[in-house]
């Protein structure tokens, strides 16, 4: 009876392991562990009973023993599966815990993202408000900038309408050289006079930024000539010389064609003449030949400029090599006053300005440093004034600009220029 009871109890244990579906993996539910232990004890009792039953040689009982052994093996397999089921159940619990934890983290991230979006939205609103505030604050400044730019452009426009020598403030002696020895002779030729002599060339030299190129352009307009600048650029010096001579001859031939058609002379302008006429030049003889008769042969005048006349390898004592030379000094007190007035008056309008006082300020800074101001440095300090409104252009403001502006021609450059004047102006007009 006891054995049957155990057997019947086991046979009613179908469905020990019951698998069910779960998202992303399979979990296993089983009976509690206490039930498994009870079944294990039952199995042990069965084995004990079997051992006792085997001692009995009754066939009927022996048959029952065999049946019980089968059931006992089946029970053992069920117990093993139950053990695995318990482990799986524990693993499933851990997975469920991890899923729950991950879900909590996702919820937290989602909450944080929403909070971040809210903060970002607030920041964008503040940024937009700040931009609007800046724009409102810049309105006045932009208006002032436009007024200042309009004033400067108007001044430049007025200056651009001034032609010829009127576009150059001061430097009357230099203008007279060009007028007397070139323009008057050109006028004689145009008038049909026979007794005229137009020079082939002229050289302007002096420190940087002092208006040599401006003088050449003003001279062209004043003389009623055509302006033809000749420049050459090349990686190799040999190519530079060759290209320069080709361009020079081509410009001269065009000048002659222009003269035949219109009777207008051409001024060929060569800036930094030393680049093509120094000791390394391969075209010195050709340049020398061109300068001997370009006026007669091509109806053209060669206007050359340089900062370093001592580097010119031509015979500067030869009367046919630059018969006229002009040393363009940094502005003295008289020319400073004229330069200041020339560039300031369109900006200042009817305001009263003591130009001599401003010029004296420039002179004082030159004496303190031993350096000199060029025309361009004075002009640029005025036209690029730090002021923003036309109403703010005043003598006091210009004085402030002068106080902050250092001379741009160094003492060594000043000394070199003095030596150049002594060497190249002894026997020349200028």
> 353-381 pLDDT, tens per residue?
899 999 999 999 999 999 999 998 888 77
Over residues 173-180, mean pLDDT: 92
Mean confidence (pLDDT) of the chain? 75
Query: In the chain, what percentage of residues exceed pLDDT 90?
Result: 36
What pLDDT is stored for residue 319 in this prediction?
A: 81
Over residues 400-415, mean pLDDT: 90
Assign 46 a pLDDT band (cuts: 50, 70, 90).
low
pLDDT higher than 50, residue 296: yes
CA distances in angstroms from 176 to 182, 183, 227, 303, 334, listed in the order given: 10, 10, 20, 16, 17
Phi, psi (degrees; rounded to nearest 5) at 29: -110, 145
What pLDDT is stored for residue 19 in this prediction?
A: 34
CB 297 within 8 A of CB 256: yes
Q: How many separate helices (H) and strands (E) can be counted in the chain?
A: 13, 7
What the block records as the tokens of 155 is: 């001044």
What the block records as the tokens of 247 is: 């361009």
Nearest of 216, 210, 94 to residue 165 by alpha carbon: 216
Over residues 233-253, mean pLDDT: 85
Give the helix ranges, DSSP H, for 301-408.
333-348, 355-369, 375-383, 395-404
- Summarised one tens digit per residue, pLDDT across range 222-236 is 988 999 999 877 657
What the block records as the tokens of 109 is: 């991230």
CB 71 within 8 A of CB 5: no
Domain chopping of the chain, boundaries: 2-113, 164-329, 334-408
Alpha-carbon distance 213 to 205, whole Å? 10
Interhelix angle for 33-54 vs 2-11, to 10°?
Answer: 140
What pLDDT is stored for residue 349 in this prediction?
A: 74
Alpha-carbon distance 335 to 211, whole Å? 13
What pLDDT is stored for residue 277 in this prediction?
A: 92
CB 105 within 8 A of CB 94: no
Quick one: CA torsion of 146, 151, 154, 156, rounded to 10 degrees? -110
Least confident window among 94-98, 215-219, 308-312: 94-98
19 forms beta bridges with 28
pLDDT higher than 70, residue 252: yes
The CATH-assigned architecture of domain 164-329 is 3-Layer(aba) Sandwich (3.40)
pLDDT higher than 60, residue 144: no
275 forms beta bridges with none
Whole-model pTM: value is: 0.62
Within 10 A of 258 (CB to CB), how many other CB atoms are there? 19
Alpha-carbon distance 156 to 158, whole Å? 5
């Amino acid at each position: 009876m006891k054995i049957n009871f155990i057997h019947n109890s086991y046979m009613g244990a179908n469905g020990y392991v019951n698998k069910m579906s779960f998202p992303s993996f399979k979990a296993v539910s089983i009976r509690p562990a206490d039930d498994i232990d009870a079944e294990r004890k039952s199995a042990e009792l069965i084995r004990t009973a079997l051992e006792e039953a085997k001692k009995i040689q009754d066939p009927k009982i022996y048959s029952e023993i065999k049946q019980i052994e089968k059931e006992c093996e089946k029970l053992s397999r069920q117990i093993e599966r139950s053990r695995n089921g318990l482990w799986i159940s524990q693993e499933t619990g851990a997975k469920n815990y991890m899923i729950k934890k991950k879900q909590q983290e996702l919820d937290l991230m989602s909450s944080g993202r929403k909070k971040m979006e809210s903060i970002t939205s607030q920041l964008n609103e503040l940024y937009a408000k700040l931009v609007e505030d800046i724009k409102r604050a810049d309105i006045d400044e932009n208006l002032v900038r436009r007024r200042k730019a309009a004033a400067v452009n108007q001044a430049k426009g007025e200056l651009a309408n001034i032609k010829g020598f009127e576009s150059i403030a001061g430097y009357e002696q230099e203008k007279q050289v060009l007028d007397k020895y070139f323009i008057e002779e050109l006028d004689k030729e145009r008038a049909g006079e026979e007794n005229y002599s137009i020079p082939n060339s002229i050289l302007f030299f002096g420190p940087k930024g002092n208006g040599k190129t401006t003088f050449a352009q003003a001279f062209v307009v004043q003389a009623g000539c055509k302006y033809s600048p000749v420049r050459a650029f090349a990686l190799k010096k040999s190519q530079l010389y060759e290209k320069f001579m080709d361009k020079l001859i081509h410009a001269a031939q065009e000048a002659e064609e222009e003269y035949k058609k219109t009777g207008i002379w051409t001024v060929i302008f060569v800036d930094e003449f030393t680049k093509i006429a120094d000791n390394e030049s391969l075209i010195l003889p050709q340049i020398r030949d061109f300068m001997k008769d370009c006026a007669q042969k091509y109806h053209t005048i060669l206007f050359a400029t340089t900062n370093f006349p001592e580097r010119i390898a031509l015979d500067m004592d030869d009367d046919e090599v630059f018969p006229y030379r002009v040393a363009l000094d940094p502005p003295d007190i008289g020319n400073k006053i004229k330069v200041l007035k020339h560039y300031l008056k369109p900006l200042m309008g009817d305001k009263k300005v003591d130009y001599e006082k401003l010029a004296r300020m420039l002179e004082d800074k030159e004496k303190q440093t031993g350096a000199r101001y060029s025309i361009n440095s004075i002009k640029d300090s005025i036209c690029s004034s730090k002021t923003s409104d036309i109403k703010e252009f005043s003598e006091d403001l210009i004085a402030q600009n002068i106080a902050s502006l250092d001379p741009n021609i160094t003492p060594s450059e000043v000394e070199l220029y003095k030596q150049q004047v002594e060497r190249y102006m002894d026997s020349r007009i200028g």
